């Protein structure tokens, strides 16, 4: 299902064969949480170069509900997306419902923020839900802590996640579906190593690193990732959950991560941060873009001036254009990254991206 095609000093090139076509790695996966990208038509997202996107199990179970997805033929038909879908289980989202969820040894009980009704997510239910959704890659149910977290908390979350992983793998799956385990362990090196080692003993098709990029220092994230990776099987695909920062993608891929997802590029777009290869992220509402006649990099029919105007005027087309621009940048980024890996020039790409992105503080 996953093949490492070329192994280089600073990363590797691979191919994931999934139910809806082959995906080249390293890959960035756009996030269509509730069955749509905010804001870009999926057809256009595919034209940009993506054939693997995310849905979120938790969100889809709450709305439209599994009954709708079952009757409508699963998420691919529902969204009109004939390419691959990875579904996160929703552990992250449920855990953040601090007040209205209860973690039990066999699952998580929580109240829907939409209508207050009670749900009970077990490893088996999450497997079932992802079967109904029709996920090409299904993620196990996990417990994802924030930063900081005590060793005790982290140990407990890790143990439960491991147990849930075993149960998840025993549940029925639809044909062709791949299942990924999730390494947890908080911010403790020993726990992270142990979690990786024990997760690796289960017959998962791939391994994700969860619970990082949640507020900890970047160096800590890189260090923990290195420890985890050295305890996971080399040949398996590795997925770093929730990372979409271009610089971090380049660094982590050179350490051996194959897959990335994050809402950041599309969220930035909605807030008027426009990515560009020349200047890095541009804050489009700034006055300097008022007369900026330069064409957008990926949609040269439009100028920065026009996009500036749309954002200043509150025209929703601005968000659409910016989203397409940022996703095009991300597709371009992983393309350049794959070329850099193949030609052993990751260092210079890393430096280029660092200069683009670190010259100013990116925040929302």
| Residue 205 a catalytic site member | no
Q: Is 294 in the site for a copy of itself (CB under 8 A)?
A: no
Q: Is 24 in the site for a copy of itself (CB under 8 A)?
A: no
Using the rule CB under 8 A, give the single segment among 10-18, 67-75, 163-171, 237-245 that binds a copy of itself. 67-75
Structure tokens of 65?
Answer: 């509900």
Close Cβ partners of 74 (under 8 Å, ≥ 6 residues apart): 132, 133, 134
Q: How many Å apart are CA 239 and CA 27, to the nearest integer?
A: 9
- Burial tier of 94 (Cβ tally within 10 Å: 0-12, 13-18, 19+): buried
Among 98, 219, 293, 363, binds a copy of itself (CB under 8 A): 293
Q: Find out whether 285 and 1 touch, Cβ atoms under 8 Å.
A: no
Q: Is 20 in the site for a copy of itself (CB under 8 A)?
A: no
Binding track over 247-286 against a copy of itself, x by CB under 8 A = ----------------------------------------
Contacts 24+ apart (CB under 8 A), 102-106: 103/143, 103/160, 105/160, 105/163
Q: Is 47 in the site for a copy of itself (CB under 8 A)?
A: no
Q: Least CB distance from residue 322 to a copy of itself, whole Å?
A: 12
DSSP letters along 54-82, please?
EEEHHHHHHTT-HHHHHHHTHHHHHHT--
Number of residues that bind a copy of itself (CB under 8 A): 37
Q: Least CB distance from residue 273 to a copy of itself, whole Å?
A: 17
- In the sheet where 21-25 sits, what is the strand order? 2-8, 11-18, 21-25
| Residue 17 a catalytic site member | no
- Burial tier of 157 (Cβ tally within 10 Å: 0-12, 13-18, 19+): buried
Q: How many Å apart are CA 55 and CA 39, to the nearest integer?
A: 15
Structure tokens of 186?
Answer: 């908080």
Among 1, 5, 68, 201, binds a copy of itself (CB under 8 A): 68
Among 150, 291, 347, 351, binds a copy of itself (CB under 8 A): 291
Close Cβ partners of 128 (under 8 Å, ≥ 6 residues apart): 171, 172
Among 319, 337, 340, 341, binds a copy of itself (CB under 8 A): 319
Using the rule CB under 8 A, give the single segment among 34-42, 171-179, 219-227, 234-242 that binds a copy of itself. 34-42
Q: Least CB distance from residue 37 to a copy of itself, whole Å?
A: 7
Identified catalytic residue from 159, 205, 258, 261: 261
Cis bond leading into 148, ω under 30°? Answer: yes
Task: Name which of 313 and 361 has its Cβ closer to a copy of itself.
Answer: 313
Q: Least CB distance from residue 91 to a copy of itself, whole Å?
A: 20
Q: Is 78 in the site for a copy of itself (CB under 8 A)?
A: yes
Residues that bind a copy of itself (CB under 8 A): 34-41, 59, 63-64, 67-68, 71-72, 78-80, 290-291, 293, 301-303, 305-306, 308-310, 312-313, 315-320
Q: Catalytic site residues?
A: 88, 261
């Amino acid at each position: 299902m996953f093949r490492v095609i070329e192994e280089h000093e600073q990363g590797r090139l691979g191919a994931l064969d999934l139910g809806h076509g082959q995906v080249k790695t390293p890959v960035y996966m756009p996030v269509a949480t509730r069955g749509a990208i905010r804001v870009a038509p999926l057809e256009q997202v595919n034209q940009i170069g993506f054939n693997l996107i995310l849905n979120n199990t938790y969100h889809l179970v709450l709305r439209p509900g599994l009954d709708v997805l079952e009757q409508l033929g699963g998420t691919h038909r529902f969204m009109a997306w004939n390419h691959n879908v990875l579904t996160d289980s929703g552990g992250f989202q449920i855990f953040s419902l601090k007040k209205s969820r209860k973690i039990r040894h066999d699952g998580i009980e929580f109240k829907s923020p939409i209508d207050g009704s009670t749900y009970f997510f077990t490893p088996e239910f999450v497997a079932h839900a992802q079967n109904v959704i029709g996920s090409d890659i299904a993620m196990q149910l996990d417990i994802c802590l924030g930063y900081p977290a005590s060793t005790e908390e982290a140990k407990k979350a890790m143990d439960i996640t491991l147990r849930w992983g075993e149960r998840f793998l025993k549940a029925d799956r639809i044909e062709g579906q791949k299942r990924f385990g999730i390494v947890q362990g908080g911010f403790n090196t020993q726990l992270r190593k142990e979690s990786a080692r024990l997760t690796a003993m289960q017959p998962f098709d791939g391994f994700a690193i969860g619970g990082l990029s949640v507020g900890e220092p970047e160096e800590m994230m890189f260090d923990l990732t290195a420890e985890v990776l050295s305890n996971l099987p080399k040949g398996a695909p590795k997925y770093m959950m929730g990372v979409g920062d271009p610089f971090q993608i380049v660094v982590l891929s050179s350490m051996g991560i194959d897959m990335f997802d994050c809402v950041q590029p599309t969220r930035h777009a909605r807030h008027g941060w426009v990515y560009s290869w020349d200047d890095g992220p541009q804050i489009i509402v700034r006055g300097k873009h008022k007369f900026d006649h330069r064409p957008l990099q990926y949609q040269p029919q439009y100028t920065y001036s026009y996009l500036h105007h749309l954002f200043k005027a509150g025209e929703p087309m601005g968000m659409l254009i910016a989203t397409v621009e940022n996703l095009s940048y991300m597709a371009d980024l992983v393309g350049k990254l794959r070329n850099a890996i193949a030609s052993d020039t990751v260092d210079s790409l890393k430096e280029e991206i660092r200069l683009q992105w670190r010259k100013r503080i990116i925040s929302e």
